[in-house]
Structure 1
Amino acid sequence: MTTLGTASAAPGEIDTGRLAVGETRDGSQFGLPVAVINGANEGKTLYIQAVSDGDELNGLGVIKRVVPQLAPEEISGTILVVGLVNYHAFQVAEHRNPIDDTKMNRAFPGNESGTSSERIAAAVFEAASRADLILDLHQGSTSRMINETRVRCGKRHRMHDECLELAKVFGCGHILDQKGPDGQLARAAPDEGIPTIDPELGGCVGWDEASIQYGVDGVFNVLRYYGFLDGEAEFEPQTRATGFDRYGAPNGGIVTFKKELGEEVSPGETLFEVTDVFGTLKAEVTADRSGIFWRSRRLPQVATGEYVCSVGINIDEY
């Protein structure tokens, strides 16, 4: 019998329930939606979570589509799922937990006696720590961004190669291989010896079906490659970056992009222009280095110094 919160499944069974993580402001207990898919045969354990940031919904779209397709009698091993992590932010469609104004993916491994975010992080980290592999499904918030997978442990970490392999198996097409900030699940879990990746499934308001499909395909590729499901995993070369050049607006005004997401960028090429409201050119911003046009703001209006776009740099094929 495998249990996660109130979900409990014997081999060959699936169950859903709630993982209690605290009380709301009216004193009512609340819990995160969880699922246990306990395969009929023995095998590894995979942990999947989504909505660590409350406005990043593509991961939830992946879980919504994947779980109904999982037949426990066909699975070897166990899949543990937390459908949404940042409960309070999800309820109000905000990025950060409004209870403590915290970005949840900076709170791991958590503290069961700490702030709201730390307590939630501690509860889900306990579940994640039972796994052999971890998928932490994200997106580029509400910015426009390519589909990519992040390896956040750093190249010198003992788990780096295993995390990079998992990223290639997930197969979004692009990988960011760069050490992440403290408190990320993809930083904390490798310290416990668990290969972990942070798929960033595009960037949008609400959710995007194309990016969700990348995530669905990635999950099933992982399930096949690591022996949860029968069948051959599919592989394609991944474009890897190890950092970003970030560009801000030298003037306020209206931005017009000259590059599309995923396009190659050469030094000196124009990335974007800034005009006034009547279309008069105020600034033209060019690339400092070669790379891939990776991410951009969604709204066209900018103030002086405001973030506009990012170019992935130090590109190779993996």
Structure 2
Amino acid sequence: MTTFGTANAAPGEVATGRLEVGEMRDGSSIGLPVAVVNGASSGDTLYVQAVSDGDELNGVGVISRVVPKLDPEELSGTVLFVGIVNYHAFQVAEHRNPIDDRKLNRTYPGDRNGTSSERISHATFQTAREADLILDLHQGSTSRMIDETRVRCGSRHRLHRECLRLAKTFDCGYILDQKGPDGQLARAGPDEGIPTIDPELGGSVGWDETSIQRGVDGVFNVLKGYGFLEGSVDPDRQVRAKGFDQYGSPNGGLVRFEKDLRDEVEVGDTLFEVTDPFGTVKARVTADSSGVFWRTRRLPQVASGEYVCSVGTDIDSY
């Protein structure tokens, strides 16, 4: 029997339930939706979670499609899912937890006696740390961005190679291999000896079917590539960026992009122009480094100094 919160599944069974993480202001219990798919055959454990940022919905779109497709009779091992991690932010369609104004994916491994976000991180991490692999499904929030997989442990980490292997097996086509901020699950997992990746499934808040399907394919690639399901995975060579150049606007106005997502960028290429409301060009911003056009703001209006776009740099093929 495998238990996750109130979900209990014997070998060959699927169960759903709730993982208690605290109480609301009226004293009612808060429970995150969880699922257990317990394979008929023994094997490793995969932990998958989504919506640690409350407005990043593509991950729960992935989980909602993967769980019904998993036949525990064909599965070796166990897959554990948390469908919605940032309970409070999800309810109000916000990025940060409104109870403590924290970005939840900066609070791992959590604190059982801490703030709301820290308690949620602690509760979920107690299960994640017992797994053999971790997938933390994200998307680019309000920005437009490519589908990519992030390796956040840093190149000197003892699990770096294993995390890269997991990212390549997921096979989004693009990998950002750059050490992430403290408090990310993709940092905390490797510190516990668990290969962990952070797939960023597109961007611009919403529900993007193309990115969701890419995430579904990625999860099944991992299940096959690591022996949970029969089948083989032969991922293509992927574009890997080991750095990021971010560009802000020198002036206020309207952004007009000269590059689109996934375009190759050379030093000196025009990335975008800023115009006034009548189309007169006020500024032209060019690339400082070669790379791939990776991420942009969604809406065109900017104030001076406001973020506009990012270029993935230090590019190679992995």
* Structure 1 residue identity aligned to 2:289: R
Task: Confirm whether residue 242 of structure 1 aligns to residue 242 of structure 2.
Answer: yes
Residue in 1 aligned with 2:195? Answer: 195
Residues 1-318 of structure 1 aligned to structure 2 (within 5 Å):
1-318=1-318
- Offset, 1:27: 1.1
The CA distance in 1 between the partners of 2:289 and 2:21, in whole Å, is 46
1:206 offset after TM fit, Å? 1.2
The one-letter code of the counterpart of 1:21 is V
8 A Cα contact 2:254 2:277, kept in partner = yes
CA distance in 2, matches of 1:66, 1:142: 25
Q: How many angstroms apart in 2 are the aligned matches of 1:25 and 1:65?
A: 33
RMSD (Å), alpha carbons? 0.5
1:205-256 superposed Cα distances (whole Å, 9 cap, x missing partner): 2110000111000000000010000011131111000110000000000001
Contact 2:140–2:205 (Cα < 8 Å) also in 1: no
Describe the superposition over 1:167-187 as per-residue Cα deviations: whole angstroms up to 9, x where unpaired.
Answer: 000000000000000000000
1:272 is displaced (CA, Å) by 0.3
Superimposed CA distance per residue, residues 254-294 of structure 1 (whole angstroms, 9 cap, x where no aligned partner) = 00101010000001110000000011110000001100000
Instruction: Tell me the distance in 2 between the aligned counterparts of 1:20 and 1:205.
Output: 27
For the residue of structure 2 that corresponds to 1:314, the secondary structure is strand
Q: Which moved more, 1:198-207 or 1:100-109?
A: 198-207
Q: CA deviation at 1:100?
A: 0.3
CA–CA distance in 1 between the matches of 2:176 and 2:231? Answer: 28
SS at match of 1:157: coil
Alpha-carbon distance between aligned partners in 2 of 1:142 and 1:305, rounded to the nearest angstrom: 18
What is the Cα deviation at residue 26 of structure 1? 1.2
- Give the AA of the match of 2:105: N
Three-state SS of the structure 2 residue aligned to 1:202 is coil
Q: CA deviation at 1:313?
A: 0.1
CA deviations 1:102-161 (Å, max 9, x no partner) are: 000000000000000000000000010110000000011121000000000000000000
Output the CA distance in 2 between the equivalents of 1:83 and 1:136: 11
Distance 1:243 1:212 in 2: 26
Secondary structure at the aligned position of 2:17 is classed as strand
Structure 2: distance between partners of 1:68 and 1:234: 25
SS at match of 1:31: strand
The whole-number CA distance in structure 2 between the counterparts of 1:213 and 1:236 is 17
CA distance in structure 1 between the aligned counterparts of 2:234 and 2:28, rounded to whole angstroms = 46
Contact map agreement 2:132 2:195 (CA 8 A) in 1: yes
Give the gaps of 5 or more residues in structure 2: none
- Confirm or deny: 8 A CA contact 2:47 2:79 kept in the other structure: yes
Q: How many residues align?
A: 318
Q: Would the aligned equivalents of 2:291 and 2:314 in 1 still touch at CA under 8 Å?
A: yes
Q: Aligned letter for 1:285?
A: V
**Matched residue SS, 2:99:** coil
- Cα distance in 2, alignment partners of residues 205 and 101 from structure 1: 19
Please report the TM-score for the alignment, with normalisation by the length of structure 2: 0.99
The answer as to whether partners of 2:148 and 2:202 remain within 8 angstroms in 1 is yes
| CA–CA distance in structure 2, aligned partners of residues 205 and 4 of structure 1 | 29
3-state SS of paired residue (1:190): helix
Q: How far is 1:25 from its partner?
A: 1.2
| 3-state DSSP of counterpart to 2:261 | coil
